[in-house]
Amino acid sequence: MVRPVVGAVVTLAALVSACAPIAGPVVVEALVPDASARGGTKLDDVTLTSVTDLAAGKGSLFDVRGGLKVNITDLNAISEDDFEEMIARVRGDNGNDVNACMDFDGTRYVACDYETLFYFSMFANFESAFARAVDFGDESDATQRKGVVGLFASVQYSEFFPVTLLSTDNAAYAPPVDGWLALRTAFQDGVPFAMHRGVISHEFGHRLFFHNVFRAVDGGFEVWRADSTQTELTKDEVREQMLLKGTDEGLADVFSMSALVDKDSINTAFEDAGDAFAAEAPRRDVEGAFARAATYDNLRELTLDAKLLQSCGLTGSEFQTSFNFYCVGTVLAAALWEASDSDADILASDMEPAIVRALPRVGEQLVNGAAFDVDLFLEPLAQELAPGVRRGALCEAATRRFSSLVDAGRIPSCL
């Protein structure tokens, strides 16, 4: 939770907020993207437009709640409750209002402690992600439903067994709360993940995927519910889950790249975060050594170079529980990058809007009983791209990266 204003110093913001909420548009100082700066960010002025009470963390698109304790492992809430009931139970007490410490210098609000700078930067990042998703044509609840962000949240086992499972060094979208968890920094260096717009855009991409695939289609939530609560899985079911998670991760990276119009939107955050995290950067780089060499088939067949394969956790069974599904995500992201002529402007203008339009078709196939494989996304995407240059480029990339799926006729638009 953001700490309260204490002592004898009473800021102008505190005085104003005692009378009336500070609502947008309002200018704050926050960390913003800057590809030339270390860590990809710099301090600058940002105009927040959706905020309805700056001091308390409230907005029209989402609320920021301090100290949110999420009962993320409450499988009963997921398996028994409807969508709204699940969210209410998993969010627990819903945290508390932010109590921002800030000064007004005549033109902008400036944080007077780290927690408030964290909050300002995070708010700006989420506001940007919402706006970019609308730019790309999203009309689902990903952008139309009010969200929640848990500032310095923690994940606990359950309300009745409040053992903390996760509380630091991450930012994440959690479908059971239909919101994001922005955790404290403990071990990472550089810019905290929730203050990095590339990371927050990636996490927004997960909400885009969840709502378009599992909630925009009748019966989709029931498919997600069954998948999320099933504990005894066959090998085929494990494989489907690994590939679905990998697709979700790859598309979240692509959304981040598109939102920032920067292929390195994710890499910079990991590179700057230090030894425990920096190793992730080269594997997520869509032009890195891993992305250049890896394909769906050499991961499946374990024929990728051993040093590159090692990071994917494959130990003899294709796409099973030991598999690092982010590896398939990188293969997919690299394919979509290549299909955009390795041009961030084309990725944002042509590819990302087509992805948004294609996602509900994935949900329709799952509701109709299809077993998930990446072709369930690639074929609808190909259909959303007009015949010609861009569809042709996608099919060329799919043939390189997913050759067995193309050869089997599972992406008919590429035959």
User: 318-342: buried (b, 16+ CB within 10 Å) or exposed (e) per residue?
Assistant: bbbeebbbbbbbbbbbbbbbbbbee
Q: Rg for the chain (alpha carbons), in Å?
A: 21
pLDDT of residue 17: 45
Helix and strand counts by DSSP (H, E) for the chain: 20, 14
pLDDT of residue 383: 97
Which of these, 413, 384, 383, lies nearest to 399 by C-alpha position? Answer: 413
> Among 317-331, 356-370, 391-405, whose mean pLDDT is lowest?
317-331
Average pLDDT over the chain, rounded to an integer:
90
What is the percent of the chain where pLDDT is above 90? 68
Given pLDDT bands bounded at 50, 70 and 90, which one contains residue 67?
confident
Which of these, 166, 184, 151, 192, lies nearest to 66 by C-alpha position? Answer: 151
Structure tokens given for 241: 């889950």
Whether the predicted pLDDT of 324 surpasses 70: yes
The pLDDT of 363-372, averaged and rounded, is 97
Given pLDDT bands bounded at 50, 70 and 90, which one contains residue 18?
low
Given pLDDT bands bounded at 50, 70 and 90, which one contains residue 75?
low
Structure tokens given for 206: 């997960």
Contact in structure between 375 and 405 (CB atoms under 8 Å): yes
Whether the predicted pLDDT of 5 surpasses 70: no
What's the CA gap between 392 and 152, in Å, rounded?
45
**pTM for the full model?**
0.92
Contact in structure between 31 and 42 (CB atoms under 8 Å): yes
| φ/ψ of residue 148, rounded to 5 | -140, 145
| φ/ψ of residue 59, rounded to 5 | -150, 170
Which of these, 8, 127, 137, lies nearest to 64 by C-alpha position? Answer: 127
Do β-strands 147-151 and 62-66 pair in parallel, antiparallel, or remain unpaired? parallel
Structure tokens given for 135: 């730019």
Structure confidence by residue, pLDDT tens digits, 270-284: 988 887 788 889 999
Q: How many residues are present in the chain?
A: 415
Given pLDDT bands bounded at 50, 70 and 90, which one contains residue 162?
low
Greater confidence (37 vs 299) lies with 299
pLDDT of residue 298: 93
Whether the predicted pLDDT of 320 surpasses 80: yes
Given pLDDT bands bounded at 50, 70 and 90, which one contains residue 165?
low
Contact in structure between 187 and 176 (CB atoms under 8 Å): no
pLDDT of residue 4: 38
Instruction: Give 153's DSSP letter.
Output: -
If 0-12 CB within 10 Å is exposed, 13-18 middle and 19+ buried, where does residue 48 land?
Answer: buried
Which of these, 299, 71, 287, lies nearest to 177 by C-alpha position? Answer: 71
Given pLDDT bands bounded at 50, 70 and 90, which one contains residue 316?
low
Half-sphere exposure of 88 (CA within 13 A, CB side): 6
Structure confidence by residue, pLDDT tens digits, 219-243: 999 999 999 888 888 999 999 999 9
Q: How many other CB atoms are found less than 10 A from the CB of residue 16?
A: 16
Q: How many other CB atoms are found less than 10 A from the CB of residue 167?
A: 16
Whether the predicted pLDDT of 19 surpasses 70: no
What's the CA gap between 403 and 399, in Å, rounded?
5
pLDDT of residue 335: 98
List beta partners, residue 168. 184
Whether the predicted pLDDT of 8 surpasses 90: no
Contact in structure between 97 and 10 (CB atoms under 8 Å): no
pLDDT of residue 155: 81
Structure confidence by residue, pLDDT tens digits, 172-191: 999 999 999 998 887 888 88
Which of these, 203, 174, 1, lies nearest to 72 by C-alpha position? Answer: 174
Which of these, 345, 216, 338, 192, lies nearest to 277 by C-alpha position? Answer: 192
Whether the predicted pLDDT of 414 surpasses 50: yes
Whether the predicted pLDDT of 25 surpasses 90: yes
What's the CA gap between 396 and 398, in Å, rounded?
5
* Strand, helix or coil for residue 91: coil
Which of these, 305, 303, 300, 266, lies nearest to 285 by C-alpha position? Answer: 266
The residue type at 38: R
Contact in structure between 118 and 185 (CB atoms under 8 Å): no
Angle between helices 326-339 and 235-260 (to 10 degrees): 50
Question: What DSSP string runs through 244-310?
Answer: HHHHHHHHHHHHHHHHHT-TTTTHHHHHHT-HHHHTHHHHH-TTSHHHHH--HHHHHTT-S-HHHHH
pLDDT of residue 258: 98
